[in-house]
Structure 1
Amino acid sequence: MAASTEKLYRLLQFFKQSRKITLGFHRNQARIQLLRNQWCTLQNYSALKLLPRRSTITSITTVCAVSWFKKTEEGETEVGKKLSVVEKADELYSANETIALYNLLKDNVDETDDEVLWRLARACCDMSKMTQNFIRKREYMYEGFEYIKKAIKLNDNNFACHKWFAILLDKTAEFEGTKKRIENAYLVKQHFVRAVELNPKDATSMYSIGHWCYLFADMSWFNKKIASAIFSTPPSSTFEEALKYLEMAEEADPDFYLWNHVYLGKTYLQLGEVEKGKWYLNRAREMTRKNISLDEHEAQMEAFRTLLNHKLIDPKDNDPKKKKAEESS
Structure 2
Amino acid sequence: MFRRAATVLGRIATGAAGVQIGAAAAVALTDKELSKKPDWYQIAVKSLEDALKATSKKGFIESPSVLQEAEEALSKISDEHNTEIQWRFARILIEKADLTKDPKEKAHLLHEAKEHVKKALAVEPAKGSAGVHKWFAILLSRLDAVEKSNHGEDIIKHLEKSVSLDNTDPYAFHLLGVAQYNNKDHKKALENFAKAEEIRRDFSANNHYYSGLALKASGKKDDAIKSFKQSVQTLPRNSADEKARSLSKGALASLGLKPEEINGDDL
TM bin (shorter chain): 0.7 to 0.9
Aligned residues of 1:98 and 1:123 also touching (Cα < 8 A): no
Residue correspondences, number: 224
Query: AA paired with 1:320?
Result: N
| 1:247 CA displacement | 1.0
**Which residue does 2:130 correspond to in 1?**
159
Q: Deviations over 1:51-96 (max 9, x none)?
A: xxxxxxxxxxxxxxxxxxxxx62368998874343125558x9795
Match of 1:251 among 198, 202, 218: 198
**Which residue does 1:147 correspond to in 2?**
116
Query: AA paired with 1:324?
Result: D
1:226-305 correspondence runs (5 A) = 238-289=185-236, 292-305=237-250
Query: AA paired with 1:314?
Result: K
SS at match of 1:106: helix
Pairing 1:105–2:70 present: yes
* Inter-CA distance 320–171: structure 2 relative to 1 (3 Å threshold): same
Query: AA paired with 1:261?
Result: H
Match of 1:85 among 51, 55, 61: 51
**Which residue does 2:30 correspond to in 1?**
none
2: CA distance, partners of 1:87 / 1:301: 32
| 1:145 CA displacement | 2.2
SS at match of 1:108: helix
Pairing 1:324–2:266 present: yes
SS at match of 1:175: helix
SS at match of 1:208: helix
SS at match of 2:183: helix
1: CA distance, partners of 2:214 / 2:161: 24
Percent of aligned pairs sharing the same letter: 20
Pairing 1:74–2:36 present: yes
Aligned residues of 2:62 and 2:99 also touching (Cα < 8 A): no
Give TM-score scaled by structure 2 length: 0.73
Q: Deviations over 1:27-62 (max 9, x none)?
A: xxxxxxxxxxxxxxxxxxxxxxxxxxxxxxxxxxxx
* Inter-CA distance 84–98: structure 2 relative to 1 (3 Å threshold): closer
2: CA distance, partners of 1:319 / 1:278: 10
Give TM-score scaled by structure 1 length: 0.60
Query: AA paired with 1:288?
Result: L
2: CA distance, partners of 1:188 / 1:198: 16
**Which residue does 2:254 correspond to in 1?**
309
1:9-24 correspondence runs (5 A) = none
**Which residue does 1:50 correspond to in 2?**
none
Match of 1:210 among 177, 181, 195: 177
Q: Deviations over 1:13-37 (max 9, x none)?
A: xxxxxxxxxxxxxxxxxxxxxxxxx
Pairing 1:190–2:157 present: yes
Q: Deviations over 1:144-194 (max 9, x none)?
A: 2222222222325110111101110221133222xx31xx22222111111
RMSD: 2.9
SS at match of 1:324: coil
Q: Deviations over 1:285-308 (max 9, x none)?
A: 12225xx32222111112112212
Q: Unpaired segments of 5 or more residues in structure 2?
A: 1-33
User: Greater relative contact order: 1 or 2 (C-alpha under 8 angstroms, separation 6 or more)?
Assistant: 1
| 1:262 CA displacement | 0.6
